[in-house]
Structure 1
Amino acid sequence: MRRRPDFRKCCVAGLALVLCGVSGAGMAQDASGSHRGGTLKLVASGSAGTLDPQINYSAQYIDLFANVYDGLTGFRKVRGKGGNDVVADLAEALPVPRDGGRTWVFTLRQGVRFSNGREVTVADVVASMRRLFRVGSPTAGAFYSAIAGADLCMKEAARCTLERGVVADTERRTVTFHLMQPDNEFLQKLAFIHASILPAETPDHDVGNVPATGTGPYRVVSYDPNGGMKLERNPWFRLWSEDAQPDGYADHIDYSFGLPDESAVTAVENGQYDWMYDQLPLDRLGELGSRFTAQTHVSPHPVAYFAPLNVNIPPFSEEKARQAVNYAMGRRAMVIFYGGTALARPLCDMIPSAIEGHTDACPYSRDADADHPAARWEAPDLERARQLVRESGTAGQKVTVVVANGSVDLAMGNYMRNTLEEIGYKASVRPLSPGVMFPYIQNSSNHVQISLKSWAADYPSPSNFLDALLGCENFHPGSDSSINMPGFCDRTIQAIMDRAKSDVSLSPEQTLALWRQADELVMRRSPIAPVIEMNVVSLTSRRLGNFFYTNVYGLLFSKVWVQ
């Protein structure tokens, strides 16, 4: 695995950016509770859509929901590699799988209450798992299709019962999951936010702007997608596991929407807000590195930019046209747009270096191909790309690149447009607000040919980048929750991924070998063009302490305090 840059030393990035140190002030833990209280103020250029925790798939709200909802399992909320660990959350303990990994029995904790005061029951667990399919959760197929009865739920959501797959015993307070085949990542999938346990009476439809009731230390009390969101303490929350769901420091969280990224940087510098969600504009990085070093944080995270290529409509229904985009991708230029080599690196496959299974070998570099890949990405091969466009018969066709309207994404999108023009297409860019853009590019009815999207791991596994984004079960035509944005399905590749997910006889090394094989075959078919992998740069106010970033979540709001 490639070594990360050492941010303990000062590192010089593009445009003379200087960022010294991973964190600002306030890294020490506070065990005394002296920092409890106050209002944490967050800002973003826009909202991220629905408040439904089983539907929303934006990093912006997933990180927020981690402080509002709980599943049977959760990820340990600590820094470093320990944050990858799964721990018991609403369950008393992690169960030992039975029947060769096909049966999992969870015992529900006693005394945990929703924010409306009602105690959580096993009936809520059963209803929540069933609801995943009834509301069309974007990960229902990718994460939970192994549950017995899920096949019917995927075909006819209204008839979904999971009566054979999720069985409750009220007297013993147990919930038993029966799987059709073993799932090596089942505990991680139950820890993901879409498996949040909600009250059984939660409607079986997208709750939209009405917050669902949760069990975490905070609850949403108001939401205006055009203005902002307010959260306050859940009065019924009592700490049951510091690892799974720590108590919050701030009494209130105010989240404002509608401030452009340039203005948000200035507002956080001035202390009007404590943290901004949006990508920091490239032209402000030098200023932050020189004048606001203590407030600027560089955090490693398994996250990447990629370009989904719609395999079902021209021009990228032609494999050679898709390969042309991979050859033409100016990955070094994209690194510069993101902030330079201290913050980003070219990515030539679908497994980032933060995830086991990554390889630096690159078939889409100058003077390389699938049979003779380069040791690493060196430069684009525009002549090869032009040749492939001509051979595909798609030269001269119109192509629209859909991107988010932030300054970094828009700069990348304009560069992609210019590149597409260079290799033979008539290209244009369509910028959309981030909250609109993600569901828009997922819906095949919008006929998006190519787009640019960043993607962070739901949990650290190659499956999050291969099966989640390119699995056959994750393409849902006409749906805003179709995370297989290219509409790609290769049964041979799918069989390899399915074995990697379910064969409990394999060693970890053998499992990784299968993921590498799937990755290699995916890149030959080119339904997607990897662009860069990057670290995350965050700006906070002077009054924010205990900056807390994990491998799974972005800023963990319950762990930071305000002076």
Structure 2
Amino acid sequence: MSEVNFEGAGRPLGKLEQELISSYMAKGVSRRSFLVRGSYLGLSAAFLGSIVAACGDDEEGGGDSGGAGEVKEGGTLRVASQRPGSPLDPVGMDNLGTYTVVSTCLEYLCGPGEGAALAPMLAEEWSPNDDGSVWTFKIRKGVKWHDGGELTAADVVATLDRLSVGNLAAYIVEGAATAVDDSTVQVTLNAPDGQFPYQLSVYNPQSLITPADFATGTVLNDRKTGTGPFKLESYDSAIKAVFVRNDEYWGGKPKLEKVEFIFSDDIDTQINGVIAGEADAIVLFAVVGGDALLNNGDVTVESVKGASHRQLWMNTREGNFTDVRVRQAVALGIDRQQLLDVVLQGRGVIGNDHPIAPTYEYFDASQAQRTRDIEKAKSLLAEAGKEGLAVTMFVPDLVEIPQLAELMQSQLKEIGMDVTLNVISTDTFYDSWCKVYDSTNEPAGCDGGEEFGIVDYGNRGTPDVYLVKAYSTGEWNSAHYVSEEFRAAVAAYQAALTVEERKAPIAEIQRIANEDVPYVIPYFYDSLFAYKKNVAGIRATGLGHFYLNSAGFTS
């Protein structure tokens, strides 16, 4: 299919873009799907909106988060936040507390758009070739680094080279990104991927763009740089991070003069800080213990629906959970509806032990939902020789997870398991999850953690990060799960260029993960954040990002 010019597109459109537009005009895809898919193909929101309008679809879309009222210039916004659980290393960070701080000054090629859509950030536009194996990104001109110099294609190429040996190893090799000129980067993938821009966006937090000479392992508090609306002024991992306004921000001078992220591992302390006036906003909180915010007339609470979830990992390689019958027994021993009702008070949906959330348009709703079966669970433990299994569950002291663990502990006792809880501060917990990330044991990567525990996974616009990092490779694979059948299904999913083509491999992914149960996924939760009524303009992603370039006080 040859390239075609559409008025308003700003560039000739290739095969993938033409097929999407044709499908939408023929009512083959929904408005939401059209906007999301168009965004990752690099079509502008304005152009997509013109097609929607031409088709007479007047369904209203969402906007940025934040309160109403004109934002005034000046002031310091104080934000209650989870303590960073790792150094401020853009490549090596692995938790929401660190994402919050680092993404305040560093930025992605692709930013958050409407819903799960993408929007231009450091890349003004992007486009694929006909099979999605080569992507071209136009880099925004005139962007300045906080510590001097302008952003160029060389910075992007160097960043992708650093990521090619770890975070993006499943997608590119070193040298895959080349600078066509100072403001154009071309990326050749290991295999076709019609959604690759998501890997260079907020939904892959480690893909932040750093300067060309930013050595691997460098931490942001040692080199205070970035392109974002705020510059890091000071950082104490136990107390707070202070940012000052970047008057030369490419997106326009921010309204706020300063931003302070005030750290605590204790969610009650964070919530009480907002209520007492010691903080103006909170990055993330749970329904359990959150009544003081949910029922407060001086506070606005918003939620981000998506794929955020908790994984109960079980080591499939060695220890108590190598027999699939033991893992299935655990999955059958929990009461998901009770977990949803008690821990989330209904603010979420039940999970089925795979990371494909119902919000994804290719989700297979025909798969039977696993429900609690105490007798079957007891029988499986007996068959595996694990009656009376005693094990320790390692849990981060994070939002609702301790309450989730306590209820799971009680439920698993009914199938004969003796579970001891070890609740750990987030600044050390992740060593219990993945102590090292360079192990050569298959699956190479994450290793040295405990055999049983709960870990947090934030919202993603596509499930690629979950499927690749937690299941297919070793990078975040705390279950040490290896399945060639699963890997083949993931490869087929990534090679698919349309929603229809993705449905069959996604159905296989759901089936295999549900049967093998390397992870129990009890629910997908709504991410809650809050701010005072006199605050407006905050944009949250459900993944720790708290975008404040348009934020400020209305009074």
TMscore range, shorter length: 0.7 to 0.9
The answer on 1:93 being equivalent to 2:155 is no
Query: Equivalent residue for 1:457?
Result: 459
- Separation of aligned partners in 2, 1:23 and 1:111: 27
Query: Equivalent residue for 1:28?
Result: 68
Query: Equivalent residue for 1:48?
Result: 85
Q: Do the aligned partners of residues 536 and 314 (structure 1) sit closer, same or farther apart at CA in structure 2, a change above 3 Å counting? A: same
Question: Which moved further from structure 2: 289-298 or 253-262?
Answer: 289-298
Deviations 1:427-483 (A, max 9, x none): 21111112332353123654412212232233x223343333211x2x1xxxxxx31
* The one of 334, 337, 346 aligned to 1:332: 337
The answer on 1:72 being equivalent to 2:99 is no
Query: Equivalent residue for 1:104?
Result: 135
Q: Is the 8 A contact 2:221 2:232 kept in 1?
A: no
Q: Do the aligned partners of residues 109 and 280 (structure 1) sit closer, same or farther apart at CA in structure 2, a change above 3 Å counting? A: closer
CA RMSD in angstroms, aligned pairs only: 2.9
- Separation of aligned partners in 2, 1:124 and 1:453: 33
Query: Equivalent residue for 2:350?
Result: 346
* The one of 153, 168, 171 aligned to 1:140: 168
Q: Do the aligned partners of residues 290 and 233 (structure 1) sit closer, same or farther apart at CA in structure 2, a change above 3 Å counting? A: closer
Amino acid at match of 1:115: H
- Separation of aligned partners in 2, 1:282 and 1:66: 27
What SS does the corresponding residue of 1:427 show, helix, strand or coil?
strand
What SS does the corresponding residue of 2:235 show, helix, strand or coil?
strand
Deviations 1:260-293 (A, max 9, x none): 32232222012210122353462442x4444447
> Of Structure 1 and Structure 2, which has the larger fraction of its residues in strand?
2
Question: Pairwise mapping of residues 184-263 of structure 1 onto structure 2 (< 5 A)?
Answer: 184-191=194-201, 192-207=204-219, 209-211=221-223, 213-239=225-251, 248-258=254-264, 260-263=266-269
- Separation of aligned partners in 1, 2:64 and 2:198: 31
- Separation of aligned partners in 2, 1:424 and 1:467: 34
Q: Is the 8 A contact 1:42 1:277 kept in 2?
A: yes
Query: Equivalent residue for 2:510?
Result: 519
Which ranges of structure 1 fall in alignment gaps of 5 or more residues?
A: 1-21, 77-81, 151-161, 240-245, 363-372, 476-481
Q: Is the 8 A contact 1:23 1:294 kept in 2?
A: no
- Separation of aligned partners in 2, 1:450 and 1:166: 39
Deviations 1:399-446 (A, max 9, x none): 111111247321221222233333233321111112332353123654
- Separation of aligned partners in 1, 2:198 and 2:69: 27
- Separation of aligned partners in 2, 1:211 and 1:329: 46
Q: Do the aligned partners of residues 204 and 284 (structure 1) sit closer, same or farther apart at CA in structure 2, a change above 3 Å counting? A: closer
1:35 Cα offset (Å):
1.8
Q: Do the aligned partners of residues 547 and 358 (structure 1) sit closer, same or farther apart at CA in structure 2, a change above 3 Å counting? A: same
1:316 Cα offset (Å):
0.9
Amino acid at match of 2:211: P
Q: Do the aligned partners of residues 293 and 314 (structure 1) sit closer, same or farther apart at CA in structure 2, a change above 3 Å counting? A: farther
Q: Do the aligned partners of residues 124 and 335 (structure 1) sit closer, same or farther apart at CA in structure 2, a change above 3 Å counting? A: same
Query: Equivalent residue for 2:152?
Result: 121
Amino acid at match of 2:198: Q
Amino acid at match of 1:393: G
Which ranges of structure 2 fall in alignment gaps of 5 or more residues?
A: 1-61, 436-445
- Separation of aligned partners in 1, 2:117 and 2:206: 18
- Separation of aligned partners in 2, 1:551 and 1:334: 20
Query: Equivalent residue for 1:391?
Result: 383
Q: Is the 8 A contact 2:135 2:186 kept in 1?
A: yes
1:552 Cα offset (Å):
6.7
- Separation of aligned partners in 2, 1:453 and 1:42: 24
Deviations 1:484-542 (A, max 9, x none): 221112111111110110244xx421212211211111111111111112212333234
Amino acid at match of 1:395: E
* The one of 39, 54, 64 aligned to 2:76: 39
Query: Equivalent residue for 2:274?
Result: 268
1:67 Cα offset (Å):
3.6
Deviations 1:329-376 (A, max 9, x none): 1212322342312x13321242122222334556xxxxxxxxxx3xx4
TM-score by length of 2: 0.79
Q: Do the aligned partners of residues 532 and 247 (structure 1) sit closer, same or farther apart at CA in structure 2, a change above 3 Å counting? A: farther
Q: Is the 8 A contact 1:64 1:557 kept in 2?
A: no
Deviations 1:193-220 (A, max 9, x none): 3222211121222427435521111121
Amino acid at match of 1:217: P
Q: Do the aligned partners of residues 499 and 445 (structure 1) sit closer, same or farther apart at CA in structure 2, a change above 3 Å counting? A: closer
- Separation of aligned partners in 1, 2:197 and 2:401: 34
TM-score by length of 1: 0.78
- Separation of aligned partners in 2, 1:26 and 1:457: 19
- Separation of aligned partners in 2, 1:454 and 1:313: 23
Q: Do the aligned partners of residues 445 and 533 (structure 1) sit closer, same or farther apart at CA in structure 2, a change above 3 Å counting? A: closer
Q: Do the aligned partners of residues 438 and 361 (structure 1) sit closer, same or farther apart at CA in structure 2, a change above 3 Å counting? A: farther
- Separation of aligned partners in 2, 1:225 and 1:37: 26
- Separation of aligned partners in 1, 2:183 and 2:64: 45
